[in-house]
């Protein structure tokens, strides 16, 4: 078996172009990895190996004809089962496929199609993406590959996304993020996660959770891979991916003003705050300007989020208006809260929306003193499936899992999480980097600079125990 999939996307893309490998060879390696690990990890809701291979052959045929459609040509990508993908059903974590209109591809998947990136399959999601832990009562829960002894959750709602990367069946994983659904699974599984600015990437062709907050994003194994994926998908990028990567890579650590989000360090599980602080100490030693910054907007946004924010009433409206036939089969953890979600008065919803808009403007002004604000991506260690099996256990972990990530959504920021350490339980933890709205390129540039100083996930953490 080859080991091309162990390389960076940049290196693999070069090998595809000089004939050192082919997309067909990459897909065969991805299929071998899935055969060895897939039954244990359970990343995918549905796969079509024949379609996967046919798309690889199409990418190779284009290379042979001298056609180059960018850095993702021939690169295996997994897609969250919230996105419409031609030829695949869309279940969105529910017991049965949704109506055909939800299988139609939107602009994000369309960008992958134009790049001739083979789709490895559709990964598991929390039902209708409503949850940050990663469990699914209908289809089971993917296994976090970092614990060989116990079945720990992978994070949600893009539950299978990070697991597909660890498994080695994909090099990029498409996810969506409404309160942390890209960043939580990335942090829990030792991956890089990118939450784009609201409105930057279209969410057409994606089953909605909260139209006021939904964003599309990607998970990858390192920041350079994330930057190439961002460049290939982003509708505003007007330069070749390699040029964007090179340009972002010019940002020096000493030029970055880092603001510490102190509330995100509070109440963390053992080893989480310590691991992130050690990474920040290393960045400061490398020349970064690190300082604490007062962010009262963070606390107020969290208080609104705990009352359901915008997502809960918008989700309830979507179910009642478009998915009423699925209401009776909702996950018990969601169904138990549904009555309170749909009972939110219109005046409360509008008041929350207006207040969050004000807070977003306020934090944007406050962030003029720094370039990015940082803290632990997730304050808790991934719990075991048993620990969240009942409603009380689920609630005790779900909101804490989303505590730090929801800020970027409710306050209209973009964000990147990078893996920096293992906590006291031996599980990965992420450092979250948040930048103002529409400064996605700067967030990626800062993440690249941080990764250069700290090392990649593989260098810093080693491989997951279930993927060696």
Residue 78 appears among annotated catalytic residues: no
Residue 157 appears among annotated catalytic residues: yes
Q: What is the spatial distance between Cα 257 and Cα 223, in angstroms, rounded to a whole number?
A: 19
SS3 category, 215: strand
The owner of tokens 């290379």 is 63
Q: What is the spatial distance between Cα 450 and Cα 225, in angstroms, rounded to a whole number?
A: 15
Q: What is the spatial distance between Cα 373 and Cα 436, in angstroms, rounded to a whole number?
A: 9
SS3 category, 173: strand
Active-site residue (options: 23, 115, 157, 407): 157
Q: What is the spatial distance between Cα 164 and Cα 37, in angstroms, rounded to a whole number?
A: 10
For residue 427, give every residue at least 6 positions away whose Cβ sits within 8 Å of its Cβ, in sequence order, or none.
Answer: 144, 146, 147, 152, 188, 381, 382
Gyration radius (Cα) of the chain, Å: 20
The owner of tokens 């940049």 is 10
Q: What is the spatial distance between Cα 51 and Cα 57, in angstroms, rounded to a whole number?
A: 10
Residue 386 to residues 4, 141, 391, 397, Cα–Cα distance (Å)? 37, 11, 11, 12
Q: Where are the alpha helices (DSSP H) in 213-329?
A: 223-233, 241-248, 272-285, 296-306, 311-322
Residue 80 appears among annotated catalytic residues: yes
Neighbouring CB atoms inside 10 A of 420's CB total 28
The owner of tokens 């403007």 is 361
Active-site residue (options: 23, 158, 169, 181): 181
Q: What is the spatial distance between Cα 68 and Cα 406, in angstroms, rounded to a whole number?
A: 38
Q: Where are the alpha helices (DSSP H) in 74-222?
A: 107-115, 161-167, 183-189
For residue 285, give every residue at least 6 positions away whose Cβ sits within 8 Å of its Cβ, in sequence order, or none.
Answer: none
Active-site residue (options: 23, 45, 78, 80): 80
Structure tokens at 270: 């053992």
Q: What is the spatial distance between Cα 193 and Cα 223, in angstroms, rounded to a whole number?
A: 9
- Which string of DSSP letters, residue by residue, matches 421-435? EE-TTS-EEEEEEEE
Half-sphere exposure of 453 (CA within 13 A, CB side): 23
Residues designated catalytic: 80, 157, 181
């Amino acid at each position: 078996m080859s080991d091309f999939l162990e390389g960076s996307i940049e290196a693999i893309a070069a090998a595809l172009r000089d004939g050192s490998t082919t997309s067909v060879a990459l897909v065969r390696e991805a299929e071998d990895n899935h055969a060895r690990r897939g039954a244990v990890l359970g990343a995918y809701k549905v796969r079509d190996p024949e379609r996967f291979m046919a798309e690889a052959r199409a990418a190779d045929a284009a290379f042979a004809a001298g056609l180059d459609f960018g850095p993702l040509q021939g690169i295996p990508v997994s897609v969250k089962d919230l996105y419409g993908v031609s030829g695949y059903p869309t279940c969105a974590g529910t017991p049965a496929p949704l109506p055909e209109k939800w299988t139609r591809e939107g602009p994000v998947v369309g960008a992958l199609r134009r790049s001739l990136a083979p789709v490895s399959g559709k990964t598991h999601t929390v039902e209708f993406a409503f949850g940050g832990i990663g469990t699914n009562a209908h289809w089971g829960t993917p296994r976090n590959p970092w614990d060989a002894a116990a079945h720990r959750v992978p994070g949600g709602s893009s539950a299978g996304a990070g697991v597909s990367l660890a498994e080695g069946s994909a090099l990029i994983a498409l996810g969506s993020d409404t309160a942390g659904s890209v960043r939580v699974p990335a942090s829990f599984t030792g991956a890089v996660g990118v939450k784009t600015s609201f409105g930057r990437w279209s969410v057409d062709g994606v089953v909605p959770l909260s139209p006021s907050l939904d964003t599309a994003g990607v998970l990858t194994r390192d920041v350079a891979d994330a930057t190439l994926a961002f460049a290939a998908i982003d509708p505003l990028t007007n330069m070749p991916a390699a040029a964007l990567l090179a340009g972002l890579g010019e940002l020096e650590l000493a030029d970055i003003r880092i603001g510490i989000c102190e509330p995100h360090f509070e109440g963390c599980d053992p080893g989480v705050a310590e691991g992130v602080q050690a990474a920040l100490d290393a960045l400061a030693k490398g020349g970064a300007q690190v300082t604490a910054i007062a962010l009262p907007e963070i606390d107020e946004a969290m208080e609104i989020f705990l009352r359901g924010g915008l997502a809960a009433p918008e989700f309830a409206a979507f179910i009642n208006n478009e998915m009423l036939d699925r209401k009776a089969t909702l996950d018990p953890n969601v169904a138990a809260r549904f009555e309170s979600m749909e009972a939110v008065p219109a005046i409360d919803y509008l008041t929350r929306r207006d207040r969050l808009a004000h807070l977003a403007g306020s934090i944007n002004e406050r962030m003029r003193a720094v370039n990015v604000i940082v803290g632990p991506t997730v304050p808790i260690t991934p719990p075991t499936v048993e620990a969240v099996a009942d409603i009380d256990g689920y609630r005790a972990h779900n909101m804490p899992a989303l505590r730090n990530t929801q800020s970027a959504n409710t306050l209209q920021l973009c964000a990147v999480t990078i893996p920096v350490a293992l906590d006291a339980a031996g599980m990965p933890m992420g450092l979250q980097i948040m930048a103002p709205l529409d400064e996605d390129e700067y967030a990626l540039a800062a993440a690249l600079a941080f990764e250069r100083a700290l090392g990649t996930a593989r260098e810093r953490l080693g491989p997951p125990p279930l993927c060696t």
